[in-house]
Structure 1
Amino acid sequence: MVGKLLLRGMLAGLIAGVLVFAFAHTFGEPLVDQAIGFEEAAAQAAGEAAEPELVSRATQAGIGLFTGVMAYAIAVGGIFALIFAFVQGRVSTLSARGTSAVIAAAAFVAIVIVPNIKYPANPPAVGNPDTIGVRTELFFLMIVVSIAALIAAISLARRLAPRFGAWNGAIIAGFAYVLFIGVVQYLLPVINEVPENYSALVLWQFRTTSIGMHAILWTVIGLAFGALAERKLAVASAVRRPAAPVLH
C-alpha cells in the first residue's frame, strides 16, 4: 500500500511541477532578467569585467528551470505520500482528502511562510557572495526549527485535547507555536544586504512570486494526492471487506 501511495504522491508532484514551471517561467524569469540587468549595470559602473556565461539564460529559463522544478516537485510529492501514509489513521482521523489538505497547509506554513518571514528569497544582485554560506545555513536552520516546533505543537494539541477539547487544544498549541517561532526569529541574526539603489518593486515581486510558486506546489500536491489516495484507499477497503454470506 505504501508503495502505491508513493507512486501517487510522485504523480501529484509531477502535476504540480508542470504548473509551477509554467508560473515560474511566465512571472519569475522576467524578474530574474531585470535583476541580472541591474547586477551587470552595477558591475560595469564599478569597472568590473563581465563574468563569462557558463550556461545561457535561454537554457536556464527553459530546460534548466523545468528539470530543477520537476525533480524537486516529484521528490516533494514522494515525501508527502510517505508522511501521509504514517499520519493517516494514526494521527489524523479525517478522510484521505482532509488529511492531505491539512498536511499540505501545515507544510506550506512551516517550510515556506515561517522561514521566509525571517529570511526571504533574494533575486540576483542581492546579497554578498561572501555570506552565502551563512545565509543558507540560517535559512535551513529556520526550516528545521519550524518543522520541529510544528511537530511539538501537534503533540501538545493531542495531549491537551482530552482536557480542553480538540479545538481549544489546537488553539493553545497554535499560540505556543507562534510564540516559540517569534522568539527564535527574534534571536536569530538579521541579514539585510539589499543595495540602496535596488528596485523595491522588483524585490517585492520576486519574493511574492517565489512564495506563489510554493503555494501552487503545496496546493496542487495536497488536492491531487488527496483525490488519488482517497480513490486508492476506497478500492483497498472494498477488497478487504468480506463478502456478505449467501442465504439459501
Structure 2
Amino acid sequence: MSSPFNAVLRRGLLAGAFAGLTAALMSMLLVQAPLQASLGIEEARSHASGEHAHEEMFSRPVQVVGGMVAAVLVGVAIGVIFAVVFASVRHRMTARTDFGRSLQLTAVGFFAVSLLPAVKYPANPPGVGETESVSGRTLAYFSFIAAGIVIVLAAHHLRGYLAARGWSPSSSVTATAAATVVLTGVALWAWPANPDPIPADVPAALLWQFRLASLAELAGMWAALGFSFGLLNEPNRTEAPTEALAT
C-alpha cells in the first residue's frame, strides 16, 4: 500500500503535468507572435550587416514542439517539488482546507520564483542580449530567485515569531508584509542591473509584449498547478496529523 506521502507526490506529478501543458498552450497563444517578430528583426539585422544567417539544426516547427515538450517536463519537475514542499509545510499553513493551502503555496511560489525575478530581470526576446554576458545574467537571475525564497522564508519565520510573542493576527500580518516589502526593495536595489542595452531596432511595444506574455505564461502555469493540485488533494484530505505525509 502506498504511503500518504507517495499519494501526494503522485498528485503533484499529475498537477505539474497539467501546469506544464497549460504553460505550453499559453506559450503558443501569447508568446509565439512576439517571438516570431523578434526573430524577424534579428534576421533582418544579420542581412543588413552582410552576415549570412547560420543554418539551424532544427526547423522552427520542431523548435516550437520541443519548447512545448520542455514546458511540460518543467511543469512536472515543479509539481514534484511543490508536492514535497506541501507535505512538509501543510500543518503550518493557515488555510482550513488543502485546496486553500495549495493556493497559498502557489501564491508564495509564484511571488518568489517567477514574479520577483521578472520584475528585476524581465524576459527579453531574441536579438536582445550579448553572448558574452550570458553567464553573468544567468548567475544573477538564479541568485535572485534564491533571494526571493530567502525573503519568503524570513517572512514566514517572522510571522511565527510575532505570533508567539502575543501579537494579534492582524498586527503580525501587517508587520510581516511591511518587512517583506522592505526586504524586497533591498534585494531589487542590491542585485546588479541587466548589463545588456536594448537595441534601437527592437520596438518598445514588441519588447513589452514579449515580457508580459512570458510573465502571463508563468502565471498560468502556477495557477494551473495550484488549482489542479488543490482539487486532486482535497477529496483525499484527512484531519490526521500532517507529519504522516512526510513519512
TM-score scaled by length of structure 1: 0.90
User: 1:80 aligned to 2:120?
Assistant: no
Q: Work out whether residues 41 and 201 of structure 2, in 8 Å CA contact, stay in contact via their aligned partners in 1.
A: no
Q: Name stretches of at least 5 consecutive residues in structure 1 with no aligned partner.
A: 238-248
1:92: Cα distance to partner?
Answer: 4.1
Aligned to 1:228: 232
Aligned to 1:217: 221
Q: Work out whether residues 93 and 101 of structure 2, in 8 Å CA contact, stay in contact via their aligned partners in 1.
A: no
Measure, in 1, the Cα distance between the counterparts of 2:88 and 2:5.
9
User: 1:172 aligned to 2:172?
Assistant: no
Measure, in 1, the Cα distance between the counterparts of 2:239 and 2:16.
22
1:226: Cα distance to partner?
Answer: 0.9
Measure, in 2, the Cα distance between the counterparts of 1:236 and 1:78.
22
Measure, in 2, the Cα distance between the counterparts of 1:73 and 1:86.
20
1:155: Cα distance to partner?
Answer: 0.5
Measure, in 2, the Cα distance between the counterparts of 1:110 and 1:21.
21
1:164: Cα distance to partner?
Answer: 1.9
Aligned to 1:56: 59
RMSD: 1.6
SS at 2:56 equivalent: coil
* 1:1-248 paired onto structure 2 within 5 Å: 1-62=4-65, 64-92=66-94, 94-162=96-164, 163-191=166-194, 192-234=196-238
TM-score scaled by length of structure 2: 0.91
SS at 2:237 equivalent: helix
SS at 2:57 equivalent: coil
1:197: Cα distance to partner?
Answer: 2.4
User: 1 or 2 for the larger relative contact order (CA 8 Å, sep ≥6)?
Assistant: 2
Q: Name stretches of at least 5 consecutive residues in structure 2 with no aligned partner.
A: 242-247
Comparing 83-92 and 130-139, the one that deviates more = 83-92
Aligned residue type for 2:220: I
1:236: Cα distance to partner?
Answer: 8.0
1:142: Cα distance to partner?
Answer: 0.5
SS at 2:91 equivalent: coil
Compare CA radii of gyration and give the structure with the larger one. 1
Measure, in 2, the Cα distance between the counterparts of 1:188 and 1:27.
29
- What is the count of residue pairs matched by the alignment? 236
| Partner deviation per Cα, 1:64-85 (whole Å, 9 max, x = no partner) | 0221011000111111111110
1:153: Cα distance to partner?
Answer: 0.7
Aligned to 1:245: none
Give the share of equivalent positions with the same residue, in percent: 32
